[in-house]
A and B are shown apart, each in its own frame.
Chain A
Amino acid sequence: KAGVTQTPRYLIKTRGQQVTLSCSPISGHRSVSWYQQTPGQGLQFLFEYFSETQRNKGNFPGRFSGRQFSNSRSEMNVSTLELGDSALYLCASSTGGQGWYEQYFGPGTRLTVT
């Protein structure tokens, strides 16, 4: 079974631009979560989507948004990029539903904002 894939793997953007990152979950998984990892703040939860609905949200500004499509693929968007948005963005998928399910992480997208 193919793992979680994220595209692109690396991205360089300029301050003020916007960016869209994509995540394809493992086949059959309905939950996709997004995390930001920086040296200073560590791994922080951004949001989770399940069956095309956001059901959990972390403490990030509204510039960070996401969506999920009917095939469970998810995108996250960051508008008006700031230097501090430079980070590794990870997505994780799981079967979802009630309770806890093992999450499988993708390799991440390394975003650099200059």
Chain B
Amino acid sequence: DAKTTQPPSMDCAEGRAANLPCNHSTISGNEYVYWYRQIHSQGPQYIIHGLKNNETNEMASLIITEDRKSSTLILPHATLRDTAVYYCIVRGYETSGSRLTFGEGTQLTVNP
């Protein structure tokens, strides 16, 4: 699985968009980008994933650059409950196995 690089921490004002970057310059053609988050003392929660097209769901949007070397997770209207550690994970679409390799993630703090 390709290595990812994320800023260790970010701040965002409540109600504003939170844009969390992730660098994955060594990503290969069959690897997807996944985002999870972990609210303090809870298990990680899946947010979204994508291959090369932008993706959107009820939680967030994922923007992947054309060269796929980086991506941005966007929380359109951040709330205090979005304060969490956000993990960007690159993983191949393997034939079997659910293994996830977590990096250090970005601690997002949403301020009132």
Contacts and interface: CB of A to CB of B under 8 A. Distances in A.
Interface of A: 4, 31, 33, 35, 42-45, 48, 50, 55-56, 58, 90, 92, 94, 96-108
B60 to A, nearest CB: 14
Chain B interface extent, by class: 20 to 34
B42 A56 contact: no
A50 B95 CA distance: 13
A100 B45 CA distance: 15
Contact of B104 (A42, A58, A94, A101): A42
9 contacts: A33-B98, A33-B99, A42-B105, A55-B96, A97-B96, A103-B46, A103-B100, A105-B44, A108-B41
Interface of B: 32, 38, 41-46, 49, 87, 91, 93-105
Contacts of B41: 108
B45 A92 contact: no
Contacts, number: 66
Please provide the 4 A-B residue pairs with the shortest distance between their CB atoms, ordered closest to farther. Answer: A105-B43, A43-B102, A56-B97, A102-B46
A107 B58 CA distance: 23
Contacts of A104: 46
Contacts of B91: 100
B43 A56 contact: no
A63 B1 CA distance: 26
Contact of B102 (A4, A42, A50): A42
B43 A100 contact: no
B95 A100 contact: no
B98 A98 contact: no
